[in-house]
Chain A
Amino acid sequence: MEFKENEPIYLQIAAHVCDQILLGKWAAEDKIPSVRDLAVSFQVNPNTVMRTYEQLQNQEVIYNKRGIGFFVAPDAVKKVKAQRKERFLQQDLPAFFRNIFLLEIDLDEIQQRYEAFKTENYESEIEQKP
C-alpha cells in the first residue's frame, strides 16, 4: 500500500481495516491480523498499528480478547458507517453545498442527477433492497 502524505499512517491503516469490514472480507466476530502481522505487511513500525487498533477499539469497531487478539465487533459495520456518515456530513457536505451555492445549481437538478446516478451504478443493489 502506498501511503498518502497528508494523513497520518495510523489513520490510513484504520481506513484500510474499516474497508475490509465494510467489504465483508472481515466479518463480525472474525479474528483480525495481529499488530505484528499487519505491521509486517505494511512495512511499518508496530507502534503505528498499535495506535490504529487502540483507536478502532475506542470506536468499538474492534475489540480485544486479552491474550488472544483483536476481533471485529458484532455491530462494526454499523459503527463504521455511522462514523463515515458523520465525517461526510461534517467535512465533505459543506464543500459540496458551497459549490452548488456559488454555481447556482438547483436542488431539483441535483435530485434528478442523483436518481440517474443510482440507476446507472447501483441498479442491482437497489433491487435487492427490501
Chain B
Amino acid sequence: MIEINNLSFGYSRKSLLFRNLNLQLQEGHIYGLLGKNGAGKSTLLKNMVGLVAPTAGSCQVNGLDSYKRLPSMLADLYFIPEEIYMPSLTARQFVASTAPFYPLFDEEAFYRYLSEFEVPAHAVFSKLSFGQQKKAIIAFGLATNTSVLIMDEPTNGLDIPSKVQFRRIIASALTEHRCIIISTHQVRDLDSLIDTLVVVHDREIVLNESLDAISERLTFTTIPESEVENALYAEDGLRGKQAILPNLMGNYSKVDMELLFNAITSGNTSVTEILKRPHYEQSL
C-alpha cells in the first residue's frame, strides 16, 4: 500500500532529516505513528503524500511515486494535516467543489459523520471553531473512501465527547481495503483503535510492530523498587516502578504505549532488540 525504500530527505541538502529509511504499510490496518517533537513525523507524512520530494530513494503509494502527484494517486489518498485551512464554504458547497476529485466519495456518509460529530452541515466552515472545523474535515476525509487516509494529530482540539465519536467513526471506517495512518501524541485517545505502532526516533523508524506481537514478547507491569534490575526499562509511577519486562511466561498484559515510547526514545535498545528478534528464538 505505502512503500518507502531507502528514502533520504532533508529540507536542505547539507542536513538530512532521514537517511535510508524503509517502511511498508499494509491495507486493513490502523497505524499509530509516534515520535518526539521534531523527530520528523510530519515530514515523513509529507513525503508519503507527495508534499515534498525525496532527496534519494522512493516513496510509493499503490505503486506510484507520491511526489509525482499523479491524479490517479491523489484520487486514492486523503491527508488531513495538523493545521487545517477551511474555505468559506458550506458542507454542500465544499462537496460540490472538492468531492469530484474522489471517485469513491460517499456523500450520504459525509453528512452522517457530520451529524455524528454534531457539526451543522449548513454552516460556513471558516466560521466554525477550530475543533468543529477539524471534525468537518475528518468527516470529509473518511467519506472520500480513499484507500490511504493519513491524519496528523486528528484528536488535537477535539473535546471529550468528540473523541468518543472519533473512535466510533474510525472503527466504522476501517475496511480491509483501507490503510489508516494516525500520527499522534495522545496515544490514550486511540488506545484500542491502533493495531500497529510505528515509532520514529533519531531519524530512523525504530519500530514497526503490531500490538499483538509486542504483547507476546513484552510484559508491562508495576514492580517494586527491589526488582528494577530485572526490568528492560522502568520509570517512576504512582505505585512503585512502571516497568517493561521480557514476556517469558506467555502471559498477556496490555501494551502501555506511552511507557514503550519512553523506553524507546530514552535510547534504551534492549526493548527494540527483543521485538526485532525472530520468533523462533523467543520460544527457546
Residues of A bordering B, CB below 8 Å: 3, 5-9, 36, 39-48
Contact = CB atoms under 8 A, between A and B. Distances in A.
Contacts, number: 47
Contact of A3 (B30, B172, B192): B192
A48 B29 contact: no
B253 A9 contact: no
Given A36-B172, A39-B171, A39-B172, A44 B192 contact: yes
Given A40-B168, A47-B195, 14 more contacts: A5-B253, A5-B254, A6-B254, A8-B212, A36-B172, A41-B168, A42-B171, A43-B167, A43-B171, A43-B193, A44-B192, A46-B171, A47-B28, A48-B195
B143 to A, nearest CB: 16
Interface of B: 28-30, 164, 167-168, 171-172, 174, 192-195, 212, 215, 252-254
Given A36-B171, A40-B171, A40-B172, A45 B193 contact: yes
Nearest to A3: B192
Nearest to A49: B171
A9 B254 CA distance: 9
Nearest to A44: B192
B33 to A, nearest CB: 16
Interface-centre pick from A7, A39, A46, A48 (highest chain B CB count, 10 A): A46
A29 B29 CA distance: 31
B149 to A, nearest CB: 14
B215 A8 contact: yes
Sorted nearest first, the 3 A-B pairs with minimum C-beta distance are: A43-B167, A5-B254, A39-B171
A7 B252 contact: yes
A39 B172 CA distance: 7
A59 to B, nearest CB: 18
Contacts of B167: 43
A7 to B, nearest CB: 6
Contacts of B192: 3, 9, 42-45, 48
